[in-house]
Amino acid sequence: MTQILLPHLSSWLRRLAIYLALLAPLLPGCSITTRESYISIKLADNSSARQSYHRLSIYKREQNFITKLRALTTNRGSHELFKSIEVSSDIFGSPGLLVSPGKYLILADCSHASVTVKKGHTQELTLQQLTFHQPPVDYDGEDGMFQILCERFGSPVFSQKLTSIFKLYLLSNIDQIFIHMMPLTVTLDLSERSTHIDLAALRINTANNEKTKFFLSQDKASITMTAGLPVARWIYFLPGEYRIAVNGSTKSVTLEAQTPQEITLGALRVATPAKTPLDYVTRFNAEPPTFSLRSPTEQTHHTLRLNTTYPLLPGTYEIKLTGGHQTIQVSVVAGKQLTIPLNTITIHSPCTREASTWQQQQLCPKIGLTLYESITDEPTQGSVGVPILFFAKKILVQLHSAHGIKQAVNARPGQHKEVVLGSLTLTPKVTFQNNRATELIRLEVLDDNTRQGFPNSIHNSSHLGDSKERNLMLLPGEYQLVSYESIKTSTRFKQKKQTVSFITLAPNSSHTVTYPFYRRLPQTQPANIYQPQSGD
């Protein structure tokens, strides 16, 4: 009988305990003590931080795979499982945030703490305050004007980006945070209620309110560099020595704490005349036409586009067309725009002149050009129908269809110039004589412009050494056809030079010249008669 009643008695006692627990709050003088666990956080200066609780995160280390878990890899290479705990402002009050016993990871601003909460206990933590003092400027609070990047724990998942936040609440010292990508190590002074860091302020102004970006890197650490930062706004940095970079121009600057500093940029524009078909240059070179900019103190070049205004730091620079060899010096002044005009010429064949599109132009015979900005420079290559870009007042041109002939072509400042080639046909009339032979026919340029612009330029002629008919595409101008002959006298051979013809070739014209070409008559040789020898 006792064995039968014991199970029923145990069940009744359990039910009675449940009823008493439910009725206890309703009965006067009756209470039941519960052993609950809490996490409580306070500030070192005893101020209120309830407004910043949304930047707190709490994770419980779990081993139960049934719950919703998050697997993270720490910087130690191990894997840990975390369960996110919802955080409310109660964590700053008393008794704190109600949690279950266990191990927790608490993330604050750029810092963390690992705690173990026991049953019936309250785990208390203290937040130290880190304050960044702003310089005395009108801060507009735009995104990116003051930016902090850091990792709160040993995993990129816990990285933090704070914008326009000047007061941080830390659980521990910070190994490294980045202020606009500049590293900073923070050691908290536990004897003080808060730690203060003074900031520097910098604003870059453009000459005509142009939109651009500038970069700032530590002067002695060329690897560290900020992302592009906007101009015409105050931006806060850590005090120190920096190097500013704007569109390839650079400048060293020292930023001092609580001392605002402004720098006004100049501007540079390398411009081509209106109606220059630059898209043909792009198609021919397979890339847009550009120029390079280099500071005399730097070894590297920065590539910039034509017809674009670039804000630059004031100073002296060297610019050169990409693919060209002529370098010119320019001086950029703060608050002013400098425009460097480019000269452009298109040399057309009659076919490319009539073509209205690039596709039609590709059906025309190809005639290459060799271009000399200076007779001592390495030449560059071009083609008829494609604009030539250069800084000088004139350029020396050699057509591949007339090897050896170089002619200076004058630019038309402020306008795109077009030159159409002419066609010259040279037809030899062969004549046989006993004592006379043409050794060489040479087509020479009669061009004072070329000699004045390029005084060291020689070989402005094309040698025609045989009696073949030739058709040459030439630049409009004055030419002469010269003959060099060998005349046999009774005692010796005599050289003779004579001008066969003067030629004036107009643009888009055809001209034919017939000239004598002398050959000697073959010498009559006596027949070689076989004479038998004795013994044959």
Q: Digits of tens for pLDDT over the chain (536 positions)?
A: 444 444 555 566 556 655 555 555 455 544 444 578 998 888 776 666 555 566 888 888 876 444 444 444 444 444 567 788 888 878 887 888 899 999 998 888 888 888 999 998 999 888 888 889 999 888 766 655 888 888 888 777 778 888 888 888 888 888 778 888 788 888 877 667 778 899 999 999 998 888 999 998 887 655 556 678 889 889 999 998 998 999 999 999 999 999 999 999 999 999 999 999 999 999 999 999 999 999 877 777 899 999 999 999 999 999 999 988 888 999 999 999 999 999 999 999 999 999 999 999 999 999 999 998 877 778 889 999 999 999 988 888 999 888 888 888 999 988 999 999 999 999 999 888 888 888 888 888 887 766 665 555 555 777 776 778 889 999 998 898 888 888 877 677 777 778 888 999 999 999 999 988 888 877 655 545 445 555 54
DSSP count for the chain of H helices, then E strands: 5, 42
Q: How much is the pLDDT for 174?
A: 80
Closest CA relative to residue 385, chosen from 473, 275, 284, 475: 284
What is the model's pLDDT at position 314?
A: 95
**CA atoms within a 13 Å half-sphere pointing along the CA-CB vector of 337:** 15
Range list of β-strands (E), 275-399: 290-294, 302-305, 310-312, 315-321, 327-332, 337-341, 343-348, 368-372, 380-383, 388-390, 394-399
Quick one: pLDDT at residue 524? 56
For 89, the 3-state DSSP assignment is helix
CB atoms within 10 A of CB 323: 16
Tell me what pLDDT residue 312 has: 95
Of 209, 215, 213, 189, the closest CA to residue 44 belongs to: 189
pLDDT, residue 180, reads: 82
Helices (H), 319-466: 350-354, 358-361, 448-453
Question: For position 18, what pLDDT does the model report?
Answer: 54
- For 79, the enclosing helix (H) or strand (E) is strand 79-85
Rg (CA), the chain: 44
**pTM of the complete model:** 0.76
Q: What local confidence, expressed as pLDDT, does residue 301 receive?
A: 87
Residue 294 near residue 303, CB atoms below 8 Å: no
Q: What is the pLDDT of residue 268?
A: 96
Distance CA 63, CA 52 (A): 30
The pLDDT value recorded for residue 303 is 94
Q: How far is CA 400 from the centre of its chain?
A: 36
